[in-house]
Structure 1
Amino acid sequence: MKKFIPELVIILLLSITGFNAIAQTSSWVRINLLGYKPNSTKVAVWCSKEKNIITNFTIVEVTSGKTVYAAKASNAFGGYGPFTQTCRLNFSAFARPGRYIIKAGSATSPEFTIIQDVYKGTANFCLRYMRQQRSGFNPFLKDSCHTHDGYTLYGPMPDSTRIDASGGWHDASDYLQYATTSANATWHLLAAYRDFPKVFADEHLANGLPGKNNQADVLDEARWGLNWLLKMHPKKDWLFNQIADDRDHHGMRIPKEDSFYGRGYERPVYFCTGTPQGFGRYKNRSTGVASTAGKFASAFALGATLFHDPVMKSRALSAWSLGIEKPGVCQTAPGRSPYFYEEDNWTDDMELAGACLYSMAPANKKFLTAAYKYAKGETITPWLGTDTARHYQWYPFINLGHYELAKQLQGKERKELLGYYKQGIDRVWQKAKQNAFYRGVPFIWCSNNLTTSFAMQCYWYRTLTGDAAYSELEQACFDWLFGCNPWGTSMVYGLPAWGDTPVDPHSAFTHLKQYPIDGGLVDGPVYGSIYKNLIGITLNEPDEYATFQSDLVVYHDDYGDYSTNEPTMDGTASLIYLLAAKEAGTLVKTSGTTLKQASQQTALSTKVTPTPFTYDHGAIARGDLKQKKLALVFTGDEYGDGLGSISRTLQQHNVKASFFLTGRFYRNDMYRAMIWHMKMKGHYFGPHSDRHLLYSDWGKRDSLLVTREQFVQDLESNYTAMQAYGINRQDARFFLPPFEWYNDSIASWTKQQGLQLVNFTPGTYSNADYTTPDMKNYRSSNDILDSIITYEQRNSAGLNGFILLIHVGTHPNRTDKFYLQLPGLINYLRQRKYELTTIKELLN
């Protein structure tokens, strides 16, 4: 909670400051605590519990104490919430950079800043909360959680079927995970980078730990979301909607492995059936799949565009097909309580998906046509201008598709879409203009999320049309989030550092461990009537905002109030976009022709370096899917009994292969002559570490078992051993890690050494040829060969770009040596018209 001033100190302060201090307690000036840009709209709100009115106000420079600006106050707006009288203080005409306070009657505002880069770094700051919400490996805790997710429910497979669904983000301060909010958050992060790439820094690795990986942190975060969404849509006809249910509300705890679902540490993964679901007595009202499928398709399509990822492109198309096949809404599944995400709209999701698919594949006009048709299904987001809505009833909170589609259309159709935006904004404006805070957003659960999204709609309308009629309303929504509200507090944890922000949110991180949740946007104020009827809310400390609560609306900085003070992942992701827009300024010109040119320039500047390769944790795990090529890769450390057989087979079939060997293998006199011979025949030789170190924990992949110094020294020793064969770094820049096990940190360290990490392509059992009959995961050579052939025949891309890994030797206990199957494997691949090449040729 906020710090309370001891009673004796209050008495002393009152005796010193006299009547001015007493007067200050009945009137206040609310400002944007972050500050303002010089040429932006700048409005504060004066509010009082008395019936007096003010007619003017002044701005005082903090450093000099001089009055530098004076202006008239607006006409009185009358009462609002806890206040008897209010008015607006517009100082947009004042643009001099500096530190100031506002004086209005007996009230004085907190200090604020006017400066051009006032919002610099704010979007990156809010990314901290997204990283802290990660499931799987959590970089804030430097530990893993929920790694056993999960077992299926409602799917076409038998209930309790095991599926790998670990990863993603926890939805809020509980640890449920929803595909709808995650896909929406992912899209916002991708769009933020696409539209404002210069805003974002590179200070973290893909796994969220500190470091640089030559990719903006916002893209790392978006990729984390995309990777989880791929697991939730693992096949073209499989789509999952959520992990866990409200059994999760077991009590506050730091994220770990949860054991109260009756299946060990596994949690349920709910399949999208398009029909009502619910664990207990309560059921949702699902009617289809399109609301979820559309969100998947839009996130994948934008991800495919930015990352040039063919897998995402394929999943975008399959998710789109599911949405067309099963129109309707797919709500989240409740359990023991009646609360769930009651999404009632879906055509907006399909509109956004169609627009993003058209951006991904502009030659296919059917997506554009379909998107425009879906736009007619939701012209105006239904909550705009209303007083209430059910929880997440109209989600996302604005129609994102109108923005994406309007950028791609011209003439009448484009004007029509932007007209929908204007009508929605005007509905809110008709309510907002009646109060001094310009508040027209209803006080329902997650009102801050609605406010953020509505400010985005105003921003998009202004930048796409050049119509600034609602710019003051747009700014009022933004200001509300950062202190220009009845409570005078920012709604974002820790932002700004010098202002009044949440300190006791509904979060286990803060409540149990006093960990900061930097950048988290809390739910926001709710109607007094909602607060009074919610289940299980009890304030745990005296309410420091008691003076500002009212029958209209309440907000509490108390972890006991989950309705107003719980941070959410998806709301924070939306705010990241808005803050990026504020930091970057208006990047798009307002005329039609200039807009098109600007859009083209933005698209060119925001492309991620194109690559046809597939990456996994920073390593190339597959070559170009469009090329019918593959690389046979052999690794060796302790055993080399198959080296001679492999060498003869490759020579007989005129095949060049790649060998990644440890330093101790290169130094073994038994293999020296053979390595020389194979090198002279043109085979590729690379490093595999010197002593075959295990870099990271098998159960907690991101928990390193080596330091950077140990890694570098071991790799150097490997290269020293290779130099005896005339192999230097320039000849062998691809590095295949020992045990084929690594993480993002290892990939980053490899890149810092001027090398590229590679690994085998998953999907077959070829790498299981080391197993022995006493192992649970034992695979016979016939099983391994069958797995390769089956994969090749059942996947549209076959083995294109494959890095097929085989070991050069195995433990004596394995008498069924897979390398003896090599002649048959090569013959099969040749019959299927594959070009067998080295890793260097495959990836260059």
Structure 2
Amino acid sequence: MTRILVPIMMILFTIGCNGDAIHSETADGVKAENAQIFIRVNQVGFRANDYKIATVISDADISGSAFKVIESKTGKESVSGKIVKGPSGWGNFPFGYSVDFTSLKKEGRYYIDVAGKKSPEFLISSRNYITITDSLLKFFKIQRCGPTNPILHDVCHLYDANKLVGELRAGGIDVTGGWHDAGDYTKFLNTTAFTTYLLLFSYEFNRTRYENDSDKNGVPDILDEAKIGLDWLLRCNYAPGKLVIQVQDLKDQTVGWRMPENDTLRYERPAFAGIGKNLVGLYSATMSLASRIWKDRIKNNEFSERCLNAATNIYAVRNSVPNVDKNPIGMYQDSRFWGKLALGAIEMYNTTKKQEYLREAQTYADSAGSDYWWSWGDMNALAHYKIAKHVPRFSDYILNNLIAFNDNRNKNLFQEGTVFSWGTSHTFLGIALHAILYRDLTGKNNFDSLAFSQRDYILGNNPWGVSFIYGYGEKYTKYFHSQVAYFNGGYFPGGVAAGPAPKAILDGYNIERKNFSYNKFNSADVLYYDDRNDYITNEPTIVTNATAIFVFGNLYK
């Protein structure tokens, strides 16, 4: 449940791996005695026109070997060809290859065969991804805090917060509600605003895709969930120009695993005041966008005005606050602010049509530049996308990112678009998000294959052959670092694991693991553990799910 305290995106790693014993023939007929071969593929599958790549790792040179894509039902060969040697191996598997079966268009269930070794089965279907966004959204009901009708646990933390740290006035403050950030029970304004914004943005970007209203209350499910975030964010604006930036501190991680309703610290959950240009931007962006949606779609002018008033009073202090807030325990600590401030300015313009906001947005966005990353702290692409709707040149900043991601992908066996980090799954999903934004702005699909390759990595085309999304794929993450999941027998719909992390980061933390089932596929530099104690590789977060909801809802727009 510990969060990263140091920058991670500058660490670079090389790729390497391990496999099952078989006897096979190489292309020149030399017998590869006891060769271990593993085939990795997106286990959920593809649509007919998708870019379709699988990866083969082996401890023996099997260059030139044939691959066959077999229809599971009939046993008939559908596509065949030669495996292509990749740029490297992985870990203990010095030989890596790719299998390109993009030409296969026929719907059905298939597997890939290389030298007698079979891949997991996968589907080619137009309906592969219909349910995944609903599952990802369900995760947020598990994370709900306070009197918000959560699932898999009871109502909890009804006394947030017993005191407000950083404010001279005495007494507590009502900051009940919102979402628990991850596997622990802490709440952060930075990640809650990020998450809420992305839920709103997903709806605005493709309203038809997100109109599902499962409880028939007249409000799309995604906006019902965003309202959980909005209500909490409004409570956090406890006075004009003032924000609560966090509820609870590191004590949360000292009392052992428990269900949230049984939290022994329920009366000891302080709130912390703080502010910075980074939070001014992200908060005002979220509330401005909410104001438009609640006015246009929900027809609730009163709530719309509340949101816009909150956005306006926070944005007004942008020039009188520090560049970044100071997080009290070092978690989710921003180091930059221009991108978030640019997003706030452009959303204020989109809501009010005041030209000064558009001018400020351009100035801030040029200062932000391309960030070549995606995370809760690196989201410049959203500001550049929104501004590019008015000033097209801003799409070039997104293009810069995509060119760099694509160059990295072409150097890596598993087509990772950037280096590994704490939160690899989130970053790779963010790369796909970039490609979707650029396609929408320009009508060009030249980065679609980049987006598909990052999706495929998350769903099984990775060294461990595991889908990092609970319940999707033949083999998926099961032992999440989530207290609620643990006390529900591992059941965790919509959970997304953080994914593999650099050894250089993992070595900085003392984690007592029990599950080493994927050890043979760990390299010297990059490791993944499906272990409930591993808060670096196996913890879910609200920000990852928010990005995933956008990506899986819009890959095929």
TM norm. shorter chain > 0.5: yes
Does 1:444 pair with 2:421? yes
Q: SS of 2:452's equivalent?
A: helix
**TM-superposed deviation, 1:142:** 5.9
Q: 1:265: which partner in 2?
A: 267
Does 1:371 pair with 2:361? yes
**TM-superposed deviation, 1:368:** 1.0
Aligned partner of 2:370 among 362, 373, 380: 380
Following superposition of structure 1 onto structure 2, how do residues 632-711 of structure 1 map, counting pairs within 5 Å? none
Q: 1:253: which partner in 2?
A: 258
Counterpart code for 1:329: V
Q: Is contact 1:33-1:483 (8 Å) kept?
A: yes
Does 1:144 pair with 2:155? yes
Instruction: Calculate percent identity across the aligned residue pairs.
Output: 28
Paired with 1:105 and 1:539, the residues of 2 have a C-alpha distance of 35
Does 1:120 pair with 2:130? yes
Q: 2:316: which partner in 1?
A: 321
Q: 1:239: which partner in 2?
A: 243
Does 1:356 pair with 2:347? yes
CA displacement 1:659-691 (0-9 Å, x = unmatched)? xxxxxxxxxxxxxxxxxxxxxxxxxxxxxxxxx
CA displacement 1:536-570 (0-9 Å, x = unmatched)? x01123x1111101112111111121110011111
**TM-superposed deviation, 1:456:** 0.4
Q: Is contact 1:258-1:266 (8 Å) kept?
A: no
Following superposition of structure 1 onto structure 2, how do residues 724-803 of structure 1 map, counting pairs within 5 Å? none
Computing the radius of gyration over CA atoms, which structure comes out larger, 1 or 2?
1
Counterpart code for 1:311: R
**TM-superposed deviation, 1:25:** 7.1
Q: 1:197: which partner in 2?
A: 207
Q: 1:343: which partner in 2?
A: 334
Q: 1:95: which partner in 2?
A: 105
Paired with 1:327 and 1:333, the residues of 2 have a C-alpha distance of 15
Q: 1:575: which partner in 2?
A: 548
Following superposition of structure 1 onto structure 2, how do residues 384-463 of structure 1 map, counting pairs within 5 Å? 395-397=377-379, 399-409=381-391, 414-415=392-393, 417-463=394-440
Q: Is contact 2:417-2:454 (8 Å) kept?
A: no
Counterpart code for 2:443: G
Paired with 1:147 and 1:257, the residues of 2 have a C-alpha distance of 12
Paired with 2:342 and 2:306, the residues of 1 have a C-alpha distance of 22
Paired with 1:175 and 1:266, the residues of 2 have a C-alpha distance of 12
Q: Is contact 1:397-1:449 (8 Å) kept?
A: no
Q: 1:171: which partner in 2?
A: 181
**TM-superposed deviation, 1:55:** 4.7
Q: Is contact 2:183-2:540 (8 Å) kept?
A: yes
**TM-superposed deviation, 1:175:** 0.5
Q: 1:532: which partner in 2?
A: 507
Following superposition of structure 1 onto structure 2, how do residues 56-67 of structure 1 map, counting pairs within 5 Å? 56-67=66-77
Q: Is contact 1:51-1:85 (8 Å) kept?
A: yes
Paired with 2:96 and 2:313, the residues of 1 have a C-alpha distance of 54
Q: SS of 2:70's equivalent?
A: strand
Paired with 2:360 and 2:517, the residues of 1 have a C-alpha distance of 52
Q: Is contact 2:23-2:35 (8 Å) kept?
A: no
Does 1:222 pair with 2:230? no
**TM-superposed deviation, 1:515:** 4.9
Q: SS of 2:238's equivalent?
A: coil
Q: Is contact 2:90-2:523 (8 Å) kept?
A: no
CA displacement 1:194-252 (0-9 Å, x = unmatched)? 22223336455xxxxxx321211111000110000000013322211110111110221
Q: SS of 1:144's equivalent?
A: coil
Q: 2:59: which partner in 1?
A: 49
Counterpart code for 2:366: K
**TM superposition outliers: structure 1 runs of 4+ over 4 Å:** 17-20, 22-25, 201-204
CA displacement 1:793-820 (0-9 Å, x = unmatched)? xxxxxxxxxxxxxxxxxxxxxxxxxxxx
Cα RMSD for the two superposed structures: 2.3
CA displacement 1:692-724 (0-9 Å, x = unmatched)? xxxxxxxxxxxxxxxxxxxxxxxxxxxxxxxxx
Q: SS of 1:533's equivalent?
A: coil
**TM-superposed deviation, 1:443:** 1.6
**TM-superposed deviation, 1:144:** 1.3
Q: 1:502: which partner in 2?
A: 477
Counterpart code for 1:295: L
Higher RCO structure, 1 or 2 (CA under 8 Å, sep 6+): 2
- Alignment length, in residue pairs? 522
**TM-superposed deviation, 1:292:** 1.2
TM-score, normalisation: structure 2? 0.89
Paired with 1:129 and 1:201, the residues of 2 have a C-alpha distance of 18
User: Relative to structure 1, is the Cα distance of residues 238 and 556 closer, same or farther in structure 2, using a 3 angstrom cutoff?
Assistant: same
Residue segments in structure 1 that go unaligned for 5+ positions in a row: 1-13, 205-210, 275-288, 385-391, 587-844
